[in-house]
Amino acid sequence: MSTPALRVENVSKMYRLGEVGTGSLSHDLNRAWARLRGRPDPYALVGAVNDRASEGTRDFVWALRDINFEVGQGDIVGIIGRNGAGKSTLLKLLSRVTAPTEGSIYINGRIASLLEVGTGFHPDLTGRENIFLNGAILGMSKQEIRSRFDEIVEFSGCAKYIDTPVKRYSSGMHVRLAFAVAAHLETDILIVDEVLAVGDAEFQQKCLGKMKDLSTKGHRTVLFVSHNMAAVRQLCPRSILMNQGTVVNSGETNAIIEQYMTLGSTAARIVTWPKEQAPGSEGVSLRGIYVKNHLGQTEGALGSDEDILVEVDYELDAPRGDLRVGISLFNSEGTLILISSDYEAGGSGAIRPEGRHSSTVRIPGHMLLDGKYTVGVGIETPRIQDFVSGETCAFEIDEMVHDGWGPKHAVRMPGVIHPSLEWTASQASE
């Protein structure tokens, strides 16, 4: 039995919404008064569940609510969830950047976080000086850093520039150096949040490899938060799925990722919103996503040989030009299969009048593998503003192909897509 490295018990975290202004002083005084009398925080009672889409009617929100889990020593655990699910808040609590509102966290051993690499790098100091400073900020002693200095420099691949101020570094070198310092930390538990968003593919693989090494050889515990499902799958045998500030499920990574991909979607391939709750901003609101078969039906099986229609239904409160409605298609492993936008319809620069609109894209048959898919919808003015992003609808393509005799089961193919390609076969002439 492995001993636990970390236990989180009934942890909740409340945030105050809106601006801190003149009202905050009177709230503080009320709270202090309540505490003096031994009463609970009067504002803690009114916290609402954290749901970004619906406008909060309350001033306080629970970013985390009754989180419980335990991680054993030497495990690598992935934490996944949509934006706003509470992942980063949880990591902040674990790394003691901020304290929980309720509950306790038990930690066995030294803990260090890699919430954002390069924390505390001073642009005017050289790489060498920053290694020491950054290491010390992360909790290493001078002695420890000195003994690992060569290793760190070698891992970063910045040996040539080690006596140059880091402000002259490229952003890639910056990240390499920073990750190198953190990866050589003498800690028992390492918290990693989205460090792989930067750096080239080769370095990303190096980082993943290093983290895996830390766990298997160094017997360290790693908590890894990422939106990169491929990285989570590669690194973490087990994962925790979070949604709206709670732990939805935990367990074997593949199953968790599959659940994540279909999170919040129903079996019917329709997602709609009433006007008041519709996601969106600035008078652009998403009213519905429909995944239809080639006959326009949203029920029944989708065959892998049929065209699939994705209809995005939205509403404009005022005329708008230069709008794009886009979709992104993910498979159940979280791999992005394709993105596309209604720019391809032509004339997207034209003003779209006030009122209801819909954009429909046809995904041809004989292209996707059977399996579960999630389609994400976004509405934006390119490079200027996102009005809607990350709203999803899930659907499943059955193992069916239709031939002249009716539907029949097909054999599941390996790979990501399975398009029908043109082949020629000929016998070589002698």
Partner 1 sequence: MTETDKIATGLPATQADVQWTRVIQPQRGLFSVPLAEIWAYRDLLLLLVRRDFVALYKQTVLGPIWFVIQPVMMTIVFTIVFGNIANISTDGVPHTVFYLAGITMWTFFADAFTKTSETFIINANIFGKVYFPRVIVPLSVVLSGLLKFAVQFTILVGFVAYFAATTEIVRPNWAVLLLPVLLLMMGTLGLSLGMIISALTTKYRDLRFLMQFGVQLLMYATPVIYPVSSLPEAYRVYILANPITPIVETFRYAFVGRGDFDPMHLAYSGGVILALLILATVIFNQVEKNFMDTV
Nearer to partner 1, 94 or 196 (CB): 94
| Least distance (Å) between residue 49 CB and partner 1 | 14
- Structure token digits, residue 390: 């990350």
Q: Where are the beta strands (DSSP E) in 258-306?
A: 270-272, 280-281, 284-292, 302-303
Residues at the contact surface with partner 1, assessed by CB under 8 A: 1-4, 7, 9-10, 15-16, 20, 24-25, 28, 66, 68-72, 75, 77, 92-113, 115-116, 119-120, 122, 124-125, 129, 132-133, 136-142, 165, 238, 240, 246-248, 250-251
**Residues 6 or more apart in contact with residue 222 via CB below 8 angstroms:** 75, 76, 77, 189, 190, 191, 192, 211, 214, 215, 235, 236
Nearer to partner 1, 117 or 231 (CB): 117
Nearer to partner 1, 75 or 380 (CB): 75
Nearer to partner 1, 118 or 280 (CB): 118
| Least distance (Å) between residue 120 CB and partner 1 | 5
Q: Measuring CA to CA, which residue among 337, 340, 405, 409 is closest to residue 373?
A: 337
| Least distance (Å) between residue 236 CB and partner 1 | 11
Long-range pairs, 157-165, Cβ under 8 A, ≥24: 158/127, 161/127, 162/126, 162/127, 162/128, 163/126, 163/127, 163/128, 164/126, 164/127, 165/123, 165/124, 165/125, 165/126
CA distances to 183, 214, 253, 263, 277 from 210, in Å:
7, 6, 20, 31, 45
Nearer to partner 1, 224 or 314 (CB): 224
Nearer to partner 1, 23 or 296 (CB): 23
| Least distance (Å) between residue 137 CB and partner 1 | 6
3-class secondary-structure state, position 85: coil
- C-alpha–C-alpha distance, residues 164 and 152, integer Å: 16
| Least distance (Å) between residue 14 CB and partner 1 | 9
| Least distance (Å) between residue 12 CB and partner 1 | 9
